[in-house]
Structures are given as C-alpha cells and as structure tokens.
C-alpha cells in the first residue's frame, strides 16, 4: 500500500501535474493541503476517472485540505475537533478518513507568520487541539498517521541554514515542543533522515533560486502510530515533482506500507 502527502498549492493550478503524478506514482491514498478552492470547485470527476474518491474540507481561495483514496473512504471527520478560531473563523485545515486498513489525518498547520503575531499563538493552540484529537487513534491498534504540512522544522538540520531562521517561526522551541507533545501521544516520524541524500527537504521557496540551490526546509511530515510505523517498508521525498514549470513549492512525501489495501 502506498500513501502520500502533498501541499499542492492550488489544486486548480496544479491539476494536470497532480493527475499525471497519480498515474505515474500510483498512490492508494493521498493527503492534500492548500488546495485553494471551494468544495464545489474540487475536481471530483477528473479524480474519479483515475479511480479516486475524495473527501474535501475547503471554503475558498485560502487553505483547504483533502484526502484522495482508491481503497475506500469512510468515517470522515471534517475539521479539527476543538480547533481554535482565528479572527472568528474556523479555517479548513484538517480532515480525517479511514482508507482501507489505514486511518489518516490530512493537516495544514497554521503558518504562524511572526513570533509576536497573533497567528503564532493560534498556531500553538491549533497544534494543541491536534494533539488532543489524535490521541485516541494514536493509541489504537489500527495503523494511523497524521500527515501534512506542519509548518515546523523538527530539528536544525531540517532547514538549509539555521542561522537564517534566527528569531523566525518554524524553528522556535515552542513550535518544536508542540511537535514533541504530538509525538508523545504515540506517534513517530516515519520518514528517516537522511534518506538517499543529505537533506531531504520538502519545501523550497519560489524566490532566489531556492530549489536549484537546495535552500529548503523539511516541514511536510508523516507521524504514524506503532502499527503504522511497523508496516513502513520505504519512504521518500519525490523531488522530481518540485522541478519544472508550474510545480508546487512543496514536493510529495511518499510512504510505502506492507499492508493489504483490501
């Protein structure tokens, strides 16, 4: 069984690439983030033609998450239970579903903007709500993973130059402590570091030739419980999908599991 997570950065803009990637990579389940469309605009028909059904949590041009599956889609939870609101809005940042033998959360953690910005406090509160929501499934016997764009680099080596990030979000002790609390409910990072290269980054800014210079960050993560982690046979960042015209600024993270999709 193959599952993946990908911040697509607009499913409308990236649809041809997504469809081609689904055909070439053959994932059974894909968690998408930053789809940037309404639920009504989501391309269900195009995905259905490739054998995928989709659950969508989206309200417009910002944020939005989805789960694509060709092995079933059940027990869908739209939104994060107990999530804080930002400027009196509950943003569409989380969706859970059971896909065959696996349960997943597709999450798009708030950016935080700046350390002294209200969005940063919101980010920490959101991660606290995610930890509470994930605890039950994490402790269960069913393979379970929280996958997505966490907007946090877990360690200094997960950014291209930690000195550049001094005083900035994504690397603060508070954010990393929030990730540690999430792992503390029984989840582990199932994508090893290093992989087949020294820095398995998942995000590179569009500006200043960041991708050719490999000035990236590892912020797209797959945190799985013990049954999920035990089933992992391979994991990789698909850097090829970050190349070329019209690419997202994130690359897919792919995990292969020794599980039957039936």
Q: What is the pLDDT of residues 172-220, one digit of tens each?
A: 999 999 999 999 999 999 997 655 555 689 999 999 999 999 999 999 9
H helices of 139-190, in order, are: 173-183
Which of 52, 108, 150, 203 is an active site residue? 108
Distance CA 99, CA 122 (A): 30
- Report d(CA 199, CA 177) in Å as an integer: 22
Closest CA to 93 of 143, 36, 176: 36
Q: Which residues pair with 108 in a beta bridge?
A: 149
Q: What is the pTM of this model?
A: 0.96
> Measured between alpha carbons, how far is 106 from 57 in angstroms, rounded to an integer?
10
- Residue 198's pLDDT is what? 58
How open is the CA angle 241-108-170, to the nearest 5 degrees? 90
| Runs of H (alpha helix) within 34-140 | 44-48, 118-138
- Output phi, psi for 244, to 5 deg: 85, 175
pLDDT digits (tens, 9 = 90+) for 212-237: 999 999 999 999 999 999 999 999 99
Domain 2-257: CATH class, spelled out = alpha beta
Taking the CA atoms of the chain, what radius of gyration do you get in angstroms?
A: 17
Instruction: Please give the annotated binding residues for Mg(2+), written as ranges.
Output: 7, 34, 149, 151, 249-250
Residue of 28, 52, 122, 149 with catalytic role: 149
**Cβ neighbours, 10 Å, residue 49:** 10
Per-domain boundaries in the chain: 2-257
Is residue 199 annotated as a catalytic residue, yes or no?
A: no
**Token pair of 212 as six digits:** 């050719």
Indicate if 250 belongs to the active site: yes
Given a cut of 90, whether residue 60 has pLDDT beyond it is no
Please tell me the predicted confidence (pLDDT) of residue 196.
Answer: 53
Q: What is the mean pLDDT of residues 240-256?
A: 96
Which residues, in sequence order, are CB contacts of 69 under 8 Å at separation 6+?
Answer: 28, 29, 30, 52, 53, 54, 97, 99, 100
User: Is 170 known to be catalytic?
Assistant: no
């Amino acid at each position: 069984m193959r599952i993946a997570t990908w911040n697509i950065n607009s499913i409308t803009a990236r649809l041809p690439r997504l469809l081609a990637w689904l055909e070439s990579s053959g994932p059974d389940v894909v968690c998408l983030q930053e789809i940037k469309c309404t639920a009504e605009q989501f391309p269900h028909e195009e995905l259905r033609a490739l054998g995928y059904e989709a659950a969508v949590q989206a309200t417009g041009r910002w944020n939005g998450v989805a789960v694509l599956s060709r092995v079933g889609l059940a027990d869908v939870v739209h939104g994060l239970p107990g999530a804080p609101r930002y400027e009196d809005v509950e943003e569409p940042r989380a969706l859970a579903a059971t896909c065959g033998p696996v349960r997943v959360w597709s999450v798009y953690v708030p950016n935080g903007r700046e350390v002294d910005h209200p969005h940063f406090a919101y980010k920490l509160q959101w991660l606290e709500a995610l930890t509470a929501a994930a605890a039950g499934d994490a402790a269960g016997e069913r393979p379970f993973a929280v996958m997505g764009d966490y907007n946090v680099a877990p360690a200094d080596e997960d950014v291209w130059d930690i000195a550049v990030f001094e005083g900035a979000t994504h690397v603060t002790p508070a954010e990393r402590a929030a990730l540690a609390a999430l792992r503390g409910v029984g989840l582990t990072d199932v994508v090893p570091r290093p992989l087949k290269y020294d820095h398995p980054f998942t995000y590179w800014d569009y500006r200043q030739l960041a991708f050719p210079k490999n000035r990236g960050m590892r912020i797209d993560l797959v945190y799985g419980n013990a049954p999920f982690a035990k089933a992992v046979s391979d994991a990789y960042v698909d850097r090829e999908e970050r190349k070329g015209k019209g690419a997202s600024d994130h690359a897919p993270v792919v995990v292969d599991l020794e599980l039957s999709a039936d």
